[in-house]
């Protein structure tokens, strides 16, 4: 047995820079051993063995390993359940404490509870820190201490809290010297974990000031490179949310609002975990969905006969990305035009999106379906043709993904807009009256 050490558990914070939990671990006065677990309980639920997100995580762990090895340390990597990994760690090292950053998803909270109990039984301290968000849990509440369920007042309170509590920066090069000196550990090849490389391209983690500054003008036009594409990096913490908020505060109030939406939906998920599989507004669970599997398949494959919808779905299937404006159009189309349960669409996006994050995906789907907090009212039904005229006036985006528009092989619309709108209004009205 070596002398006592502290373990830092990398999860959704794959960076050395400005990492709250890591800096706290390094300040504990003991050598810090970084670990990462390719958790079989999570990986076994993934349907595709070429899931680009797993390949991305693998490449980021490779990078972290290289960075720590430049400091004569390394990252110890497990391919097992998190419980089995900690059993092995406690057998191999004299662990005084385990440090990690918080994860606010219900399954992660449950996992942390189990790990915490196991560590406590073994007299090992377990400490969790806020790193993934700016404000968490009960930090932004109404004056009566209830959680906000409407975005605008939440965002005002959030901004006030930001003015009162400047964003900290958890970074210290000197502290990194506190990483445990150890020979490099082995990173199992992706194939050994049961996955393969993906052909999908991962967007850069670097975003220019110009893109952020112009965000308000460009963000709604899918043919333009007008968004940051940072979703996957925020999801896995390869960029710091604190550094991004500081930039947004200086450059773009509109982009800052998008980051506040992210905190808002994470807070909603934490306060109201039932939203994972039920409507936030319970009465919406009584909607009589049509749930046509044939029409769902047409939607998934981008063959609805509505170019804006089809372009979005094809972009998603081919790249793992869909422009945010188009996400709203495709989600509204599925839930309102086709009257297919939002949970079907949410699950499809969860499988395909590189930047999939449970809180935002769930919040946005429930927003589109009208069943969520601060949702679009059920009678707000996007007209896909009007959306195309407004946000892709030269058809540049739709022609890129649906070049057969106007040809015989392009399908007729799966449903007529006016008819679909009236049908949706009736079904929703019957359910929520």
SS3 114: helix
CB atoms within 10 A of CB 346: 24
As given in the structure block, the two tokens for residue 119 are 């560590």
Strand 32-39 relative to strand 76-80: parallel, antiparallel, unpaired? Answer: parallel
In contact, 17 and 240? CB cutoff 8 Å? yes
How far is the CA of 279 from the CAs of 22, 67, 373, 420, in angstroms?
A: 37, 44, 9, 22
Whether residue 9 lies in the annotated active site:
no
Whether residue 365 lies in the annotated active site:
yes
* CA pair distance 253, 213, nearest whole angstrom: 9
Whether residue 315 lies in the annotated active site:
no
Annotated catalytic residue, options 324, 385, 404, 422: 324
As given in the structure block, the two tokens for residue 143 are 């004056």
Annotated catalytic residue, options 9, 342, 344, 401: 342
How far is the CA of 11 from the CAs of 15, 116, 417, in angstroms?
A: 10, 15, 45
Element (H, E) at 248: helix 241-251
Using a 10 angstrom Cβ sphere, with 0-12 exposed, 13-18 middle and 19 or more buried, the burial of residue 408 is: exposed
Annotated catalytic residue, options 196, 258, 317, 395: 258
CB atoms within 10 A of CB 165: 11
Annotated catalytic residue, options 261, 270, 299, 344: 261
As given in the structure block, the two tokens for residue 29 are 């006065």
SS3 118: helix
In contact, 98 and 7? CB cutoff 8 Å? yes
* CA pair distance 285, 280, nearest whole angstrom: 9
Alpha helix segments (H runs only) across 70-170: 82-92, 106-121, 151-164
Whether residue 258 lies in the annotated active site:
yes
Whether residue 367 lies in the annotated active site:
no
The phi, psi pair for 11, rounded to 5°, reads -135, -90
| Residue found under tokens 């990690």 | 100
Annotated catalytic residue, options 365, 367, 383, 401: 365
* CA pair distance 235, 418, nearest whole angstrom: 38
CA–centroid distance for 273 within its chain: 16
SS3 1: coil
Annotated catalytic residue, options 84, 289, 317, 395: 289
* CA pair distance 211, 228, nearest whole angstrom: 7
Total residue count of the chain as it appears in this document: 433
How far is the CA of 395 from the CAs of 256, 301, 365, 403, in angstroms?
A: 29, 20, 26, 10
- The residues assigned a catalytic role are 258, 261, 289, 324, 342, 365
């Amino acid at each position: 047995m070596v002398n006592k050490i502290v373990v830092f558990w990398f999860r959704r914070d794959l960076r050395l820079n400005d990492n709250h939990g890591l800096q706290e671990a390094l300040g504990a006065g003991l050598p810090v051993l970084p670990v990462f677990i390719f958790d079989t309980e999570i990986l076994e639920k993934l349907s595709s063995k070429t899931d680009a997100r797993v390949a991305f995580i693998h490449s980021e762990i490779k990078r972290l390993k290289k960075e720590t090895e430049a400091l004569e340390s390394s990252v110890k990597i497990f391919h097992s359940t998190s419980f089995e990994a900690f059993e092995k760690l406690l057998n191999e090292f004299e662990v005084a404490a385990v440090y990690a950053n918080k994860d606010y998803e219900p399954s992660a909270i449950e996992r942390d509870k189990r790990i915490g109990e196991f560590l406590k039984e073994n007299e090992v301290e377990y400490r969790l820190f806020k790193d993934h968000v700016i404000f968490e849990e009960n930090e932004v509440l109404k004056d009566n201490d209830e959680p906000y369920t409407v975005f605008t007042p939440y965002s005002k309170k959030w901004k006030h809290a930001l003015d009162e509590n400047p964003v900290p920066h958890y970074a210290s090069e000197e502290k990194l010297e506190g990483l445990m000196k150890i020979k490099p550990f082995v990173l199992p090849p992706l194939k050994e974990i049961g996955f393969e490389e993906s052909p999908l391209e991962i967007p850069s983690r670097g975003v220019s000031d110009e893109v952020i500054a112009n965000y308000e003008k460009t963000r709604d036009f899918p043919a333009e490179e007008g968004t940051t594409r940072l979703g996957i990096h925020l999801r896995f913490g390869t960029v710091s949310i604190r550094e991004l908020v500081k930039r947004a505060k200086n450059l773009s109030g509109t982009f800052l609002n998008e980051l506040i939406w992210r905190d808002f939906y994470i807070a909603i998920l934490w306060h109201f975990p039932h939203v994972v599989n039920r409507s936030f507004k319970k009465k919406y669970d009584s909607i009589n969905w049509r749930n046509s599997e044939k029409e769902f398949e047409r939607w998934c494959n981008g063959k609805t006969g509505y170019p804006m919808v089809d372009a979005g779905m094809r972009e998603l299937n081919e790249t793992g990305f869909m422009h945010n404006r188009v996400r709203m159009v495709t989600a509204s189309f599925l839930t309102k035009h086709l009257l297919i349960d939002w949970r079907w669409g949410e699950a499809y996006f969860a499988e395909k999106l590189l930047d999939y994050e449970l809180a935002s995906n769930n919040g946005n789907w429930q927003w589109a379906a009208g069943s969520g907090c601060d949702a679009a009212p059920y009678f707000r039904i996007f007209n896909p043709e009007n959306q195309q005229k407004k946000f892709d006036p030269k058809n540049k985006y739709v022609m890129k993904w649906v070049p057969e528009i106007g040809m015989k092989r392009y399908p007729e619309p799966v449903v007529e807009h006016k008819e679909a709108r009236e049908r949706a209004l009736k079904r929703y009205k019957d359910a929520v009256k």
